[in-house]
Amino acid sequence: MLSQSTPQSGHDGPYPAPVDVRGFAVRPEWIDYNGHMNVGYYGVAFDQALDVMLEEHLGTGKTYVETAGYGPYILQSHVQFRRELLEGEGFRVEFLLLDHDAKRMVYFARMISERDDALCATQEALLMNVSQETGRGAPFPDWAQARIARMAAAHEALPADPAIGARLGIRRD
């Protein structure tokens, strides 16, 4: 394993605001008996898009895990379903970095249909950098902390999405 001190992927910015990850489509095996993407596969799709964002932009994805022995673990996630996705339908995921500290990040993601630009789902999640050896949280290396801070700064001027911080409950009008 290499040291955490040298990034093996990603870049130092500037970062798009939001980060837009494209090239996804609903797979046949993701379709449930209702004829649309099953609820569980929204999480899979968000995770696959997150892997791309972490690898290509922050450098804390798969290559980081393989070379440094650390990697991102989702600790908490809240998904809101807005519109169904159908078999074969293309979609993209936009990421906004909302908050961070030395070993954690909070992000917000929007899943958007490529067919009509409709918002299909959102995810707000907390992730932590974890040692593959100990299974415990650990600070990101300095280069990753600097990249995360730059991305957060690029995203802080974006308007807040009303779904951020949404409370789970029954709406009573």
Both tokens of residue 87?
């078999």
Write down the H helix ranges in 55-122. 62-68
Residue type, 60: T
* Three-class secondary structure of residue 39 per DSSP: helix
The answer to whether the CB of 57 falls within 8 A of the CB of 50 is no
If one counts every other C-beta atom within 10 angstroms of the C-beta of residue 28, the result is: 7
The answer to whether the CB of 79 falls within 8 A of the CB of 46 is yes
Domains of the chain: 19-155 (3.10.129.10)
Q: Indicate left, alpha or beta for 35 from its phi (over 0: left) and psi (-120 to 50: alpha).
A: left
| Vertex 93 angle, CA 89 and 97, to 5° | 170
CA dist 52 and 10 (Å) reads 10
Q: What's the pLDDT at 4?
A: 65
Tens digit of pLDDT per residue, the chain (173 long)? 445 678 899 999 999 999 999 999 999 999 999 999 999 999 999 999 999 999 999 999 999 999 999 999 999 999 999 999 999 999 999 999 999 999 999 999 999 999 999 999 999 999 999 999 999 999 999 999 999 999 999 999 999 999 999 988 888 98
> Rounded to two decimals, what is the model's pTM?
0.94
Non-local (6+) Cβ contacts of 15 within 8 A are 57, 150, 151, 154, 155
DSSP 134-154: T-SB-PPPHHHHHHHHHHHHH
Q: What's the pLDDT at 1?
A: 44
